[in-house]
């Protein structure tokens, strides 16, 4: 069993994120899913991005860090898209992390540290043609991070959907989401 701190994407804490967290719980893990948007959810990616900009990305990082401060240090940090920001910050900078799971995003390692903490296990999941992941350079950041990690895996799924593992969004891809979930549960079994 692992203890996971899971951060949502720019649509907010959707039913799909809640269901993903519940799936991890049913596999025997303890999962914390903070709401960084204070109950607000958004229909479109653009609306969510605009809201995140209004809050400020630095404030989102502070909110994520504040949630972590009340939890044990031996967590697996996980995030979907925007949620990768606080997850990656904490994985790179908070001592005691057990692992990291990044979905549909990855920042350059140097955003928060000089290098990835090599012994820290990490998985990165995205679709192979997601413009938010590929065109923005996240795929290059992911490959660099994986090269620095002793135990790192990058999984690319067919298609171009950005948030393909959130069952409450139109971009949901059930076959890829099921494969992702299985890989994540195996990862948590191994690092927990």
SS3 content of the chain, % helix, strand, coil (to 5): 45, 15, 40
Whole-model pTM: value is: 0.96
Tens-digit pLDDT profile for residues 4-26: 999 999 999 999 999 999 999 99
d(CA 49, CA 129): 20
Within 10 angstroms of residue 128's Cβ, the number of other Cβ atoms is 13
Domain that holds residue 184: 3-191
pLDDT in tens, 65-99: 999 999 999 999 999 999 999 999 999 999 999 99
* 56 has a pLDDT exceeding 90: yes
Sign of CA dihedral 85, 51, 158, 34: positive
Number of domains in the chain: 1
Which alpha helices (H) appear in 27-94, and where do they start and end? 45-55, 57-69, 84-93
Model confidence over 148-192: pLDDT tens digits?
Answer: 999 999 999 999 999 999 999 999 999 999 999 999 999 999 999
CA 166 to chain centre: 12
CATH number at residue 87: 3.40.50.1820
């Amino acid at each position: 069993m692992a203890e996971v701190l899971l951060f949502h994407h720019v649509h907010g804490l959707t039913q799909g994120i809640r269901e993903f967290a519940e799936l991890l719980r049913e596999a025997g893990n303890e999962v914390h899913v903070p709401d960084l948007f204070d109950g607000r959810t958004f229909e479109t990616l653009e609306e969510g991005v605009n809201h995140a900009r209004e809050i400020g990305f630095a404030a989102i990082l502070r909110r994520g860090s504040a949630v972590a401060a009340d939890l044990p240090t031996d967590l697996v940090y996980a995030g979907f898209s925007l949620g990768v920001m606080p997850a990656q910050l904490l994985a790179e900078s908070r001592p005691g992390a057990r692992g990291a799971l990044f979905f549909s995003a990855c920042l350059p390692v140097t955003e928060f540290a000089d290098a990835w903490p090599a012994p820290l296990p990490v998985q990165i999941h995205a679709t192979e043609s997601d413009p938010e992941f590929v065109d923005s350079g996240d795929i290059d950041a992911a490959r660099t991070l994986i090269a620095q990690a002793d135990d790192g895996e990058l999984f690319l799924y067919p298609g171009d959907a950005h948030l393909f593992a959130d069952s409450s969004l139109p971009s949901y891809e059930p076959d890829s989401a099921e494969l992702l979930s299985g890989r994540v549960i195996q990862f948590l079994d191994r690092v927990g």
